[in-house]
Amino acid sequence: MSREQIVAEFFKKGHLLTEDAIKLIEEAQTDASHSEPPQNLPLVVEPGDLRRPFSILRNLTHKKTEITSDDFVRFYNSKYEKMKSVILSRIPKDFVSLNKIDMSRSEVHVLGIVKEIKEKDGKKVVDIEDPTGSVPVIFEAADFDADVELDDVVAIRALAGGKVLFGKKIIYPDMPLRQPTLGTGKACFVSDFRLDEASTKDAERFFEWFSQQDIPYLLVAGDLGDKELFERYVERYCYIKTVFVIAAGNEYPQTPLKFESNKIVSLSNPAIVELGGLKVLMIHKGNTTFLKKRYLGRSSAILDEDYLVLDEMPDIMHTGHGDTPFISNYKSTTIINSGSLLGTFTPVVANFATRDVEKISIS
C-alpha cells in the first residue's frame, strides 16, 4: 500500500498520521512478537499509538529429533507431576499413595495415570499407577465414566480393599466455577480458510471487510491451505493489525509455520496468547472434554516435558476443524468455531470488555 493510500485509509476513519507513524507503517517495523496495534486510536496518531504489548503464554517452537528411553520416562513423569499439581490445586482431599492402600474398606482418594481399561464380569477394571505402585480399580457399570482414556491422569474416590480398590467416582481436575474475566478491545476469530480448495473470492471478501473494521486482532485456527496466498491477503489488508495463526498438520502438537510477514504471529498448535486482558487458547481440534480433563489430547511426539497439560485457565477456546460454526460456553470459557470456507463460514467478533460475541455474515 502506497503512502497516499495509507494516509487516505486513516483519514477515512478520522485519524491523522504523523510523519513518523507513516514511516512505521511503510517500513513495517512493528515487531509482531512483542506488540499489537491498538483498537482505539487518537485523532493524531504517533508511532507509540500503533504499539501495545501482548504475551504468548504457550508456543512449542521445536521438537526432539532423537528419542531415548530416558526421554520417554521423563515425558510421562512430567505429565503425571503437572497433572498432579492441577488436581491438588482443584480437589481439596487427602490423597493416599497406592502403596498405602489397606484392607479397611474405608473411603480413600487416590490419583494416578490410567494404564489399562478392561471389562470383567460385567464390571469395568481400570489399572492406575503412581510413582509408588499400581492397583486395579473395580467399577460397577453405573459408576464408570466412559470419557476416561488410557494415559489420563485422574483422581478416584474409592473404597480401600488391599490389593484392589472399589471405585465410586472418577474425578477430573476440570475448570472452576468463576466469573467471566473482562478485558479491553475486540478480536475476530476465523478458521479453516482452505485456500487451496475454497473460493478465493470469498476469502478476499472477508479480508476486505476486516480491513475496514476497528478490530486490531485476527486469530486464525489453522488449515490455511495456500499459505502464500493467505500471507498476501494479510500484507494487503492487515497493514495495522496483528494476525495470530496456529499451525495445522498431521503431527500434534505442531510447531509454528514460517511466514515472511511480520504482521503474522505464527504459533504452534495448540498455543495460548494473552491479549486485551484475556487468555485465548488456540487449538485446531478442541472440545469441552479437554477443558474438563485439563489436558489437550494425545501427543504424537515425545518432548522434553508434556506440553499438553492445561495448567492455564483460558477465557476463550478458539477451535477449527469443522464446516459447521458454533459458539458455546463451558464454565466461563467461551468456545468459538467459525466453520470453514468449504462449509459455512461465519467469522466471530468477540468484545473483550463485555464478553459478548457476534457472528458476522460476509455477503
**Percent of the chain scored above 70 by pLDDT?**
93
- What was the pLDDT predicted at 42? 77
- Give the pLDDT band (50/70/90) at residue 32: very low
Compare 29 and 122 and report the one with higher pLDDT: 122
Residue 130 above 50 pLDDT? yes
- What was the pLDDT predicted at 174? 94
Q: Which long-range contacts (CB under 8 A, 24 or more apart) does 334-337 make?
A: 334/180, 335/286, 335/288, 336/189, 337/191, 337/221
Assess whether the region 54-62+177-359 and the region 92-171 belong to the same CATH fold.
Answer: no
Q: Where are the domains of the chain?
A: 54-62+177-359, 92-171
CATH superfamily of 92-171: Nucleic acid-binding proteins (2.40.50.140)
**CA-to-CA distance for 333 and 101, rounded, in angstroms?**
37
- 212 secondary structure, DSSP code: T
**The domain made up of 54-62+177-359 is a member of CATH 1.10.357.10:** no
- What was the pLDDT predicted at 48? 62
CA distances for 353 relative to 52, 155, 187, 347, angstroms: 17, 36, 11, 19
Write out pLDDT tens, residues 239-259: 778 999 998 888 899 999 999
Mean pLDDT of 218-222: 93
